[in-house]
Amino acid sequence: MQTLTARRLLTHTGSIEYPVITLTADGLIAEIESDPNVRNAGETLTAPFLDVHSHGAASHDVMTASPSDFVALNTFLASRGVGQYLATTVTAPIDHTLQALSRIADEIETSHSGPLATPIGIHLEGPFISHAKRGVHPVANILAPSIELFDRFQEAARGHISLITIAPETPGFVGNPSALDLIAHATKAGVKVSIGHSNATTAEALAGIAAGAVSATHTFNAMRPIDHREPGVAAIVLDSQQLFAELICDGVHVAPEIVRLWLKAKGEDLGILITDSMSAAGMPDGDYTLAGLGVRVANGRCLLQCDLDEGRETLAGSILTMDRAVANVQAMTGASLATALRLASTNPSRMLGLDLAILPGSPANFNLFSADGTLQQTILHGQTVAR
């Protein structure tokens, strides 16, 4: 049997000093013990990352990926420490979205051998968002709230939509549901709701939370900015102790000073690190696509090509990877590795209501960090991931 050792094991509930972890031949944890006679020079074992907001990487987009594309994508994500992720859509024509949801569901339901990251659900980002804060989402495909259409999306996804981004201020047409009705409906159906791409006022944001929203999508980006008299959605996201809050910690989307403010406000229990990665992640600068939209990537910035052609700059996802997000948040805030790992693993699993405890009988999924907090190795289902 294979054995893993380290200076400490960080779990979702605490830490174990000098762990000795025995693995079964089929990649499960057989036993976890502690032996102070086993000495490792500061190495730390943790759960792998859970990215709840990824559109793709390694030149592959989750909305158009074939089965072989997903293998390449999942291989790349695993090499950056990701064990599980939510495949995230972009607002598109209804038929395109339905087809994409079905393809992603196929991948979720496919069993792969080998040390690969696993899509465990779908994050539906749009189409029920604000025109005023749409970001790269095409204006022609943004729709008014619709319980009927949400149910069609979930049927196409075969129940795999785990998270949906909704702008809570969006009204319905006469006789049709509002965003608040849709939030309540999705919540009742077991789907977590994230407030995002939103121009909500304070009252509208609070109403979204009361209707069932539990998180905020890429906090500060595509959100009404904070005002000292009308705080608006971004201030409510920071202030609310009922709401998790995503953040893209790449030094491009959010300035370090604001990263520090976010962490002070949300603490180590409510902040969630995400990548919002697109197909260009892990690739050289050049031209790429995000759900069919042209994107120019240069110097760490992903910019919508059609807006560039008109003299405007609109960020279109990122090339961030989760290992860099964890390193960045430590460098920008002085947070410990333990805190950074809560933001990248524990909190997203808590937000989704998942139990990813490291216990005997569970899959042998680990990240191994050096004494200086650098990701050294990833093990998924007992197999070492090539880096």
For residue 252, say whether it is annotated as part of any ligand binding site.
Answer: no
For residue 315, say whether it is annotated as part of any ligand binding site.
Answer: yes
Query: Which tokens is 386 given?
Result: 């090539």
Q: Are 258 and 266 in contact (CB under 8 A)?
A: no
For residue 316, say whether it is annotated as part of any ligand binding site.
Answer: yes
Task: Choose among 288, 202, 196: nearest CA to 244.
Answer: 196
Task: Choose among 68, 49, 94: nearest CA to 277.
Answer: 49
Cis peptide before 127 (omega within 30 of 0): yes
For residue 253, say whether it is annotated as part of any ligand binding site.
Answer: yes
Q: Are 219 and 247 in contact (CB under 8 A)?
A: yes
List C-alpha distances in Å: 102 to 61, 121, 227, 262, 387.
14, 12, 41, 36, 31
For residue 136, say whether it is annotated as part of any ligand binding site.
Answer: yes
Query: Which candidate in 51, 61, 250, 276 is catalytic?
Result: 276
**Is 269 among the residues known to form the active site?**
no
For residue 112, say whether it is annotated as part of any ligand binding site.
Answer: no
For residue 361, say whether it is annotated as part of any ligand binding site.
Answer: no
For residue 62, say whether it is annotated as part of any ligand binding site.
Answer: no
C-alpha to C-alpha distance for 354 and 8, rounded to whole angstroms: 23
C-alpha to C-alpha distance for 196 and 220, rounded to whole angstroms: 9
Q: Are 343 and 272 in contact (CB under 8 A)?
A: yes
For residue 317, say whether it is annotated as part of any ligand binding site.
Answer: yes
CB atoms within 10 A of CB 96: 17
20 burial (CB, 10 Å; 0-12 / 13-18 / 19+) is: middle
Query: Which tokens is 243 given?
Result: 């709401």
For residue 271, say whether it is annotated as part of any ligand binding site.
Answer: no
For residue 197, say whether it is annotated as part of any ligand binding site.
Answer: yes
Q: Are 296 and 303 in contact (CB under 8 A)?
A: yes
What phi and psi values does residue 236 have, to the nearest 5 degrees? -65, -40
Residues contacting residue 349 through CB under 8 Å, at least 6 positions apart: 12, 50, 355, 356
| Residues labelled as active-site residues | 276
Annotated binding site for Zn(2+): 125, 197, 218
Annotated binding site for substrate: 136, 221-222, 229, 253, 315-317
